[in-house]
């Protein structure tokens, strides 16, 4: 087809001080479904990031810095209304960038984008602060109370795996607490963030309250943002090693940081579990979003008496997964985010065989015989037979793959689950709730689900331990992170 008849590709621009601006350099947005060039994205240089930070600082000195909590809550609800009104456009944006199933984009990604704004609008409006009636030497006492004030300008850096969900998970509380924001989405998933900037503009936030810059990490927009002296706090979601790099970048300025990092999460299935529920749950926690969720289970431990039966059941269901186009009926899995990420995942597929794995299912690339063969698809994969110290059992792969191993006792399972540099999430399957209450607190992780996975109450603390993160966000934990808290003592 002649390119002259092809529709013009979208040009995705930065959003600074209430206006969309193009940058000098651009980079390509490539579809992971068929490898086509679908958009061009402006790449922010240091001057562009500086303009965004200065716009945010100016907003803090202007109308946005003088808003009340109620005014901000109303603004967040208007943003949620705006996403709702353009729901299908947000779905299309997420699907174009990531190739995910349309039904997932609808029921998870965009739905949570709306929920994030509504949750923090309501939380901010209803949140209390502390008050203590204190004793004093003269017996007359004192009152101690706290006030929350904005941090100032918050730099938000987000990943590509749940683009809108994870970006709004940070933007909503940051704005609710009265901060101004400069956000940089992943270079792999710029589209829904750009649409969000339109919605925020149309919701009437003052210029500079929210700013969006596109680009890469080191030596590009991400690093320019974290190193900018006008940034008061950085909230980052991404790989652990990136978190360490950012921590070094902000150390001299002692900026507040919140890190949501990598994981090598375990699922543990006891023999007394509801077998079918556990199989269905581990299928979800292994293959949702092509395994590209930080909470996914790449390590599965199954109590010996049901191990063979469990592996057979997982094999059957994994081989039955429908891998295909985002809009196909009943599609279970789309491609990975990019050809580069696919090459990383396939390198682990090869490594597993070198490390001695038994490939129970998958292990390669599906063949479609059409344009999808130019996409970033891999087969959902199951391994057994690897030792706990195998790289495929210790390193985060971030793809549709899990290793299943048997265990003999509860104590052994806990020891092996905790033998990891990561500590983000764990899914525990048992019908014995005394066991659940006994085992869950022993797990070195920020999040433990029992007889479910990725059931989210946005008021709860969310975050990881060890290499999986620093701090907690969610509910009042977000309000505390995105606020400066002052304690005031009044002598009576």
Ligand X SMILES: O=C/C=C/C=C(\O)C(=O)O
Ligand Y SMILES: NC(=O)c1ccc[n+]([C@@H]2O[C@H](COP(=O)([O-])OP(=O)(O)OC[C@H]3O[C@@H](n4cnc5c(N)ncnc54)[C@H](O)[C@@H]3O)[C@@H](O)[C@H]2O)c1
Where do contacts with ligand Y occur on this chain (CB under 6 A)? 157-161, 166, 184, 186-187, 216-218, 222-223, 226, 237-239, 242, 245-246, 260-263, 294, 396, 398, 424, 464, 469
Q: Is 254 exposed, middle or buried (0-12, 13-18, 19+ CB in 10 A)?
A: exposed
Closest CA relative to residue 152, chosen from 241, 61, 29, 91? 61
Closest CB to ligand X among residues 161, 379: 161
The yes or no reply on residue 422 touching ligand X (CB under 6 A) is no
Closest CB to ligand X among residues 82, 474: 474
Place of tokens 């063949």: 367
**Residue 138 CB, nearest approach to ligand X (Å):** 49
Select the residue whose beta carbon is closest to ligand Y and give its number.
217
The yes or no reply on residue 346 touching ligand X (CB under 6 A) is no
**Residue 116 CB, nearest approach to ligand X (Å):** 8
# binding residues, ligand X (CB under 6 A)? 9
The yes or no reply on residue 426 touching ligand X (CB under 6 A) is no
Closest CB to ligand X among residues 227, 264: 264
Q: For residues 491 and 140, is the Cβ–Cβ distance under 8 A?
A: yes
Out of 58, 67, 161, 179, name the contact with ligand X by CB under 6 A: 161
Residues 241-300 that bind ligand X (CB under 6 A): 293-295
**Residue 41 CB, nearest approach to ligand Y (Å):** 12
Closest CB to ligand X among residues 54, 476: 476
Half-sphere exposure for 418 (CA within 13 Å, toward CB): 12
Q: Say how far apart CA 225 and CA 52 lie, in whole Å.
A: 9
Out of 120, 169, 259, 287, name the contact with ligand X by CB under 6 A: 169
Closest CB to ligand Y among residues 398, 407: 398
Closest CB to ligand Y among residues 313, 378: 378
What does 246 bind: ligand X, ligand Y, none (CB cut-off 5 to 8 Å by kind)? ligand Y
What is the token pair recorded at 45? 């240089």
Report residue 212: phi and psi, to 5°: -130, 130
Calculated CA dihedral for residues 201, 205, 206, 211, nearest 10 degrees:
-60
Catalytic residue check, 260: yes
Q: Say how far apart CA 120 and CA 175 lie, in whole Å.
A: 9
What is the token pair recorded at 93? 């944006």
Catalytic hit among 260, 298, 303, 473: 260
Place of tokens 């092509």: 290
**Residue 217 CB, nearest approach to ligand Y (Å):** 2
Hey, how many other C-beta atoms are within 10 angstroms of the C-beta on 343? 12
**Residue 183 CB, nearest approach to ligand Y (Å):** 10
Query: Under 8 Å CB-to-CB from 147, ≥6 apart: which residues?
Result: 129, 485, 486, 488
Q: For residues 278 and 309, is the Cβ–Cβ distance under 8 A?
A: no
What does 387 bind: ligand X, ligand Y, none (CB cut-off 5 to 8 Å by kind)? none
The yes or no reply on residue 162 touching ligand X (CB under 6 A) is yes
Hey, how many other C-beta atoms are within 10 angstroms of the C-beta on 432? 14
**Residue 164 CB, nearest approach to ligand Y (Å):** 12
Going by DSSP bridges, is the β-strand pair 483-491/142-150 parallel, antiparallel, or unpaired?
antiparallel
Closest CB to ligand Y among residues 159, 178: 159
Select the residue whose beta carbon is closest to ligand X and give its number.
294
Query: Under 8 Å CB-to-CB from 157, ≥6 apart: which residues?
Result: 183, 184, 217, 222, 225, 226, 234, 235, 236, 237, 238, 246
Cα 114 off chain centre by: 15
Residues 456-475 that bind ligand X (CB under 6 A): 456, 462
Closest CB to ligand X among residues 337, 428: 337
What does 141 bind: ligand Y, ligand X, none (CB cut-off 5 to 8 Å by kind)? none
**Residue 453 CB, nearest approach to ligand Y (Å):** 14
What does 224 bind: ligand X, ligand Y, none (CB cut-off 5 to 8 Å by kind)? none
Q: Say how far apart CA 440 and CA 431 lie, in whole Å.
A: 13
What does 456 bind: ligand Y, ligand X, none (CB cut-off 5 to 8 Å by kind)? ligand X
77: region left, alpha or beta (phi > 0 left; psi from -120 to 50 alpha): alpha
The alpha carbons of the chain give a radius of gyration, in whole angstroms, of 24
**Residue 144 CB, nearest approach to ligand Y (Å):** 34
Active site residues: 260
Q: Which residues bind ligand X (CB under 6 A)?
A: 161-162, 166, 169, 293-295, 456, 462
């Amino acid at each position: 087809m002649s390119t002259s008849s092809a529709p013009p590709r979208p040009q995705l621009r930065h959003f600074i001080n209430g206006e969309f601006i193009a940058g000098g350099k651009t980079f390509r947005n490539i579809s992971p479904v068929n490898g086509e060039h679908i958009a061009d994205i402006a790449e922010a240089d240091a001057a562009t990031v500086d303009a965004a930070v200065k716009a945010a600082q100016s907003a803090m000195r202007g109308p946005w810095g003088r808003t009340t909590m109620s005014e901000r809550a109303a603004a967040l609800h208007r943003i949620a209304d705006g996403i709702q009104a353009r729901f299908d456009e947000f779905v299309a944006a997420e699907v174009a960038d990531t190739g995910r199933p349309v039904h997932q984009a609808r029921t998870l990604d965009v739905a949570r984008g709306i929920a994030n704004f509504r949750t923090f609008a309501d939380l901010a409006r209803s949140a209390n602060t502390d008050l203590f009636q204190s004793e004093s030497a003269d017996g007359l006492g004192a009152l101690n109370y706290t006030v929350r004030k904005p941090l100032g300008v918050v730099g938000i850096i987000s990943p590509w795996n749940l683009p809108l969900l994870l970006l709004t998970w940070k933007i909503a509380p940051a704005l609710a607490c009265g901060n101004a924001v400069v956000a940089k989405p992943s270079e792999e998933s710029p589209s829904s963030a750009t649409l969000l900037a339109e919605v925020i503009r149309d919701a009437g936030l003052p210029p500079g309250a929210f700013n969006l810059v596109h680009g890469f990490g080191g030596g590009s927009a991400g690093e320019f943002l974290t190193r900018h002296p006008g940034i008061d706090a950085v909230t980052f979601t991404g790989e652990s090693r990136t978190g360490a790099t950012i921590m070094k970048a902000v150390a001299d300025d002692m900026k507040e940081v919140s890190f949501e990092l990598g994981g090598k999460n375990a699922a543990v299935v006891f023999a007394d579990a509801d077998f079918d529920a556990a199989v269905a749950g581990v299928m979800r926690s292994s293959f949702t979003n092509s395994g590209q969720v930080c909470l996914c289970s790449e390590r599965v431990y199954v109590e010996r008496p049901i191990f063979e039966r469990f592996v057979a059941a997982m094999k059957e269901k994994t081989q039955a997964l429908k891998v295909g186009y985002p809009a196909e009926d009943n599609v279970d899995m789309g491609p990975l985010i990019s050809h580069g990420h696919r090459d990383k995942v396939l390198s682990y597929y090869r490594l597993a065989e070198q490390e001695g794995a038994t490939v129970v299912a998958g292990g390669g690339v599906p063949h479609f015989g059409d344009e999808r063969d130019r996409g970033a698809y891999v087969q959902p994969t199951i391994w057994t037979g690897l030792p706990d110290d195998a790289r495929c059992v210790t390193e985060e792969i971030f793809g549709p793959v899990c290793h299943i191993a048997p265990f003999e006792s509860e104590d052994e399972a806990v020891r092996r689950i905790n033998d990891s540099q990561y500590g983000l999430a764990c899914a525990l399957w048992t019908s014995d709730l005394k066991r659940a209450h006994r085992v869950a607190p022993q797990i070195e992780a920020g999040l433990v689900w029992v007889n479910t996975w990725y059931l989210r109450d946005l008021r709860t603390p969310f975050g990881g331990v060890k290499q999986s993160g620093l701090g907690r966000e969610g509910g009042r934990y977000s309000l505390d992170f995105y606020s400066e808290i002052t304690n005031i003592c009044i002598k009576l």
